[in-house]
């Protein structure tokens, strides 16, 4: 896996510096885009307040999985 990959990122609207990678890594932006709706739905299942967040796709340097993948690996 590359050190820099695409992630779906949730940003708190009242605190733009608070960003959480919720899903990823994805090798392409198109793959992240295809999963965006499902990732937001999963975030809402985990925490209804996720509806208040802004979602974007960002290329981030990280080897860690997003929150959804992390939780799935420990279920």
Q: Give the total residue count for the chain.
A: 75
Q: Looking at the predicted structure, is the pLDDT value of residue 1 above 60? A: no
Q: Look up residue 26 and give its two tokens.
A: 């994805």
- pTM score, two decimals? 0.83
69 vs 29: which has the higher pLDDT: 29
| Distance (Å, whole) CA 35 – CA 37 | 6
**What is the domain count for the chain?**
1
Structural domain including 11 reads 4-73
- pLDDT tens across 39-65, in order? 999 999 988 999 999 999 999 888 788
Backbone angles phi, psi at 19, to 5 degrees: -130, 140
Locus of tokens 């999985």: 65
Q: Helix or strand or coil: residue 38?
A: helix
pLDDT of residue 74: 67
- pLDDT tens across 19-46, in order? 989 999 999 999 999 999 999 999 999 8
């Amino acid at each position: 896996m590359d050190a820099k990959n695409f992630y779906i990122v949730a940003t708190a609207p009242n605190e733009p510096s608070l960003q959480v990678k919720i899903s990823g890594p994805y090798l392409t932006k198109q793959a992240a885009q295809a999963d965006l709706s499902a990732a937001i739905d999963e975030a809402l299942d985990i925490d209804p307040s996720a509806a208040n967040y802004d979602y974007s796709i960002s290329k981030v340097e990280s080897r860690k999985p997003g929150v959804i993948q992390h939780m799935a690996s420990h279920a």
